[in-house]
Structure 1
Amino acid sequence: MVVYSFIYYDKFLPIMADNESPSIRKIANPAGLGLLGFGMTTVLLSFHNLGLYSVDSMIVSMGIFYGGIAQVIAGILEYKNGNTFGTVAFTSYGLFWLTFVGVNTAGLTGLTAGNPSSLGLFFAIWGVLTLFLFIGTLKGTRALQVVFLTLTILFFVVAIRFGTQNADVAYVAGVIGIICGGSAMYTAFGEVLNEQHGKTILPLG
């Protein structure tokens, strides 16, 4: 007989039991992978917004593989764990990074590159989505709330940046992006280390 029960982080524990000796098989938490894919890619892109380097193959590759594909995988695993929020968030932001790469490499395919107005709307609509998801974090940890709050602000600031073409706004976006990506990395480290050690190594609130 197989019985499924919810535990912390909305993970399923399949309990494989016979008549005499039940055993428990724990399902891994994919949130660490998703948060690291998002956080590390965001930090690296934010260094670009600070003017340290241009969008190059490093950022594009991170956007495709770690920010993009890794987050989509994390979202699929959250689906298997019965976590609707994690599924929507990780899959959406994974596809955001893949879309962002497509926007920045459109010239290679002969498509018209995005203009400031369309890019402003692109980031604004992602800001709306993130604001909606931020509301969903209000019952979660403080660390996760910080990630989504700063990401909401970041999307709207980047939208303003493309609308105004102001270098100072781009710099502000870079600073907020580092805070946002860094908080996502911290949350991921907390998820992984706290579970590995069976106690609080990094407090998540």
Structure 2
Amino acid sequence: MDETENVFGTVFKVDPAPLGLTGFALTTFMLSFVNAGIIGSKGGTGMAISFAFAYGGIAQLIAGQWEMRRGSQFGFVAFSTYGAFWLWYVFLEVAAHFGVITVTNEALGISLILWGVFTLYMFVTAIRLNMGLMFTFLFLWLTFFFLGAGAMSGVVIITHIGGYLGILAAAFAIYTAFAVVTNSNHAGRIPLGPGLGSKKK
């Protein structure tokens, strides 16, 4: 296979980005369905933890290391951080369930907003990459801030809004992954859209 440019603007032979994006998307879909109140938290949270450990956590960490080997600063930081985020979520849920730690609403809310701060600065970079990533990070940034506000305030509707925003973030992530995989075999038929301020290729 000839070398070409991947979704993060780096040269590659096999692109790890779809693995990381799909791991992120499916896990985010599952947890966001719970946060939005679409499925109940009793069974849904347990399933989200399973997704978060195997696909959201481990798979994204692997994708992040591959992105580092490909020379993608953005891909390395994004996948490694969100892989760590999902493992943090697993630890938090399991440790709280067994009474190892105590999680207050205020502490949880601040933690989610801090994840949102990280996502905001990644969004600033994603703006110039392509539209698929730009909207993924935009809605993810909003997701974290609404979930954080919902946790601190205890207002369920705010958490539900965060859940629906998470569904949108996951939808753009899975679309971007689909486009990368499909375009690698069908010569660029699925549009991602140029980043703002970048020259359309």
Runs ≥4 residues deviating over 2 A: 9-13, 107-110
- C-alpha displacement at 1:50, in angstroms? 2.1
Q: Would the alpha carbon gap of residues 31 and 129 (structure 1) be closer, same or farther in structure 2, given more than 3 Å must change?
A: same
Q: Normalized against structure 2, the TM-score is what?
A: 0.88
Alignment-derived partner of residue 39 in structure 1 = 25
CA distance in 2, matches of 1:81, 1:143: 21
Letter in 2 for 1:89: A
Check the 8 A contact 1:127/1:155 in 2, yes or no. yes
Partner in structure 1 of residue 85 of structure 2: 96
Looking at structure 2, the residues matched to 64 and 43 of structure 1 have their Cα atoms a distance apart, in angstroms, of 14
| Structure 2: tracts of 5 or more residues without a match | 194-201
Residue correspondence of structure 1 range 101-180 to structure 2 within 5 A: 101-180=90-169
Aligned equivalents of 1:159 and 1:108: distance in 2?
Answer: 20
SS in 2 for 1:35: helix
- Alignment of 1:8 with 2:8, yes or no, is no
Deviation sequence 1:120-151 (CA, Å, 0-9, x none): 11101111101111111122011110000111
Distance 1:143 1:107 in 2: 35
TM-score by length of 1: 0.86
CA distance in 1, matches of 2:179, 2:54: 23
Q: Percent identity?
A: 37
Contact 1:11/1:29, CA 8 A, preserved across alignment = no
How many aligned residue pairs are there? 187
Structure 1 gap segments, 5+ residues each: 1-5, 14-26
